[in-house]
Structure formats: structure tokens, C-alpha cells
Amino acid sequence: MSTVTEQTITLHRPRATAPAAPKAERWSVDAIEALFKLPFPELLYRAQTVHRENFDPTKVEFATLLSVKTGGCSEDCGYCPQSAKYDTGVQASKLMELEEVLFAARRAKDAGATRFCMGAAWREPKDRDIEKVAELVRGVKDLGLETCATLGMLKDEHAQALADAGLDYYNHNLDTAPDFYGDIITTRDYQERLDTLARVRDVGVKVCSGGIVGMGENHRQRAGLIAELANLDPYPDSVPINNLVRVEGTPLANQEPLDPFEFVRTIAVARITMPTARVRLSAGRQQMGDAIQALCFLAGANSIFYGDKLLTTGNPDTDADVQLLARLGMGQSQQPAGKT
């Protein structure tokens, strides 16, 4: 599945034979690194200004993530407990049945979620997998929820089948900067990720793509990740920013934690460079604490994964999220998509 390659800021490698005109680069890595280096109050002021121009800063979108097929993945993403290459205690499971998924989706809706994301730990789905996931998408949509799926790399026909089923968003993260990527994943390259995003976009499904920070990347590489995302044409509709959750048994289990203010800076820079995107606080919230989460909202985060479990790692419980927003005088975005 992977949230998310050997190239620079220029993005979609042409998949057709005709040569593509070079795309204008909206944000250079230098410009983004300069944002990262701003004094903290200045950076937050700029991010907050952009945020208010595009969204109600008091509202946060709630999205729920369900692992519909867990573990046993053939990829080697160094942060991921679902890779079959690491001994993390995650049991591999089959794709969940429709009724089980709909039960979870109804619960998520009752708890206030507006978007329901389904994740499957595949390198890429097979034809028969896509048929089943399309059924899940139709069922969840019928409940009145927005749908999102993260299933790994997609072929053209698979992207089309998901679009035909009414899928709203497809998540495929870039994970990190191109020049750090090979330190984290060796079983697929960066360009394959960009190609999947292009396929999704081509069939009219909105793109959800972000990355993970705190994996040992340097300052410039964090800027490089944001530059890749911000220079996608157009930039993603949803941008999940994950703080590494260090899982025993993975190669990154002993990684030094990232300075929490650097995480807040990453949120702020994502907001400034992708003004109308939903910037989502994703993995790592449980370790972050309330004060850093509040700073992230101030920096322009306006979506959270809601529920007590992400794919396989913990998440704050739903009551804690509701209480935190109440303490901040904030509330849940009622509109499932777009501006609030």
C-alpha cells in the first residue's frame, strides 16, 4: 500500500511516447528550505495567513482509516510493520468481507467521520482484488461517506475500475525526498509512485499524497519532499504528513525522534506551498501530545485520522480528539470536501 524516486523536481515522466513539455517548477527546494529556516513565529504567521484565506481555521476534517487487508506485503518500506521482510508480530490477513467493512464504516460515520479510507498491504492489487475493492467502495459510498483507498501501485485499468466504482480519493504517498528514498525503500522506485499518482489523476480520482518525516532525512530532504508534492500538477487534494512511528522489528525502530517543532514547521510549509489542500495530521499523533497537535492546527493542519487505530499502529482515542478540539474552541468540518 504505501503511502506513498530517482529524479529531481521535475515530476511526471511522460507515459506516452510523445515528449512532454517541461513543467514550470512552482517551488524550488531552495525556496522551501528558506521557509523552513524562518523564525518560528514568522513561519506560523505566514502559514496561518494562507490557511485563513482558504479555510475556516477552526474546523478540522475527520477521516477514518481501516486496514481491509493487513500485513504480508512484499515491499520493504523501512518504516512499515506490514512488510513481510520484518518480524514485527503483525499477522497477515485476507481482504475483509463487505459486511465487516460496512460495519466499520457505519461506526465511523456514527462517530463523526466524513471520509472513510481503506488500506490494503499490497505491492499492487490483482484484477480480482480490484473487483472486490470496487464493491467495498460502492458500499461505503452508499452510506454517504467519501471514499479513499490505498492499495499500492495501480495499472491504468485498475485506476479506471476504481473511478467507475465512485472512488473519491486515492492515497499513494511519496514518502520522502527522491535523494533519500533509496535509504528507505528498495523494492519500487520513486517514478513508479509518480506514475500511479498520474494514473489516478487521469481518471478523475482526487489525489491524496504526502510523506513521513523523522526517518533520518536531513533538513534539505524534508524540503525536498514538500517540493515534490507542491510541484505535482496540480498538487494533491489531500496531504497526509506522518511523524515516524518507530515500530520494533523494522529497520527504523531505533531512529532518533524528530524535534517536534520541526514537525510543526513541516506542516506550516506544506500549508504555505499547497494552500487549498487538506493537510492531514496522520501517523505519530499519539506520541505528539496535545500541545504539539494544537500548534499543528495553528500551522494549518485541518484534517486528522480519527479512530483509535491506524493501519497497525495506535492513534489517540476518539473521545480524546473530540475533547482536544473542544478545549481549543474548534470543531469538526461538516463538509466532506473542499473549503469549509
Binding site for ligand SF4 (CB under 6 A): 1-2, 73, 75, 77, 80, 82-83, 121, 152
Kindly tell me which of 125 and 260 has the beta carbon lying closer to ligand SF4: 125
Kindly tell me which of 55 and 181 has the beta carbon lying closer to ligand SF4: 181
CB of 80 to ligand SF4, least distance (A): 3
CB of 229 to ligand SF4, least distance (A): 17
CB of 296 to ligand SF4, least distance (A): 23
Kindly tell me which of 247 and 295 has the beta carbon lying closer to ligand SF4: 247
Kindly tell me which of 186 and 335 has the beta carbon lying closer to ligand SF4: 186
| Burial (Cβ within 10 Å: 0-12, 13-18, ≥19) of residue 286 | middle
Select which of 46, 115, 148, 201 is catalytic: 148
73 is catalytic: yes
Q: What is the 3-state secondary structure (H, E, C) of the chain?
A: CCCCCCCCCCCCCCCCCCCCCCCCCCCCHHHHHHHHCCCHHHHHHHHHHHHHHHCCCCEEEEEEEEEEECCCECCCCCCCCCECCCCCCCCCCCCCCHHHHHHHHHHHHHCCCCEEEEEECCCCCCHHHHHHHHHHHHHHHHCCCEEEEECCCCCHHHHHHHHHCCCCEEECCCECCHHHHHHHCCCCCHHHHHHHHHHHHHCCCEEECCEEECCCCCHHHHHHHHHHHHCCCCCCCEEEEEECCCCCCCCCCCCCCCCHHHHHHHHHHHHHHCCCCEEEECCCHHHHHHHHHHHHHHCCCCEEECCCECCCCECCCHHHHHHHHHHCCCEECCCCCCCC
The rounded Cα 40 to chain-centroid distance in angstroms is 24
CB of 88 to ligand SF4, least distance (A): 10
280 is catalytic: yes
Kindly tell me which of 20 and 92 has the beta carbon lying closer to ligand SF4: 92
Kindly tell me which of 236 and 300 has the beta carbon lying closer to ligand SF4: 236
296 is catalytic: no
Select which of 265, 278, 280, 285 is catalytic: 280
**Terminal alpha carbon distance of the chain:** 29
The phi and psi torsions of 290 (rounded to 5 degrees) equal -65, -40
Select which of 193, 199, 201, 208 is catalytic: 208
Q: Is residue 121 a contact partner of residue 94, using CB atoms and an 8 Å limit?
A: no
CB of 149 to ligand SF4, least distance (A): 13
CB of 282 to ligand SF4, least distance (A): 13
Kindly tell me which of 73 and 136 has the beta carbon lying closer to ligand SF4: 73
Distance CA 197, CA 153 (A): 9
Select which of 73, 199, 201, 271 is catalytic: 73
Select which of 26, 46, 106, 117 is catalytic: 117
Select which of 77, 199, 265, 296 is catalytic: 77
CB of 261 to ligand SF4, least distance (A): 27
For the chain, the C-alpha Rg in angstroms (whole number) is: 18
Active-site residue list: 73, 77, 80, 117, 148, 208, 280
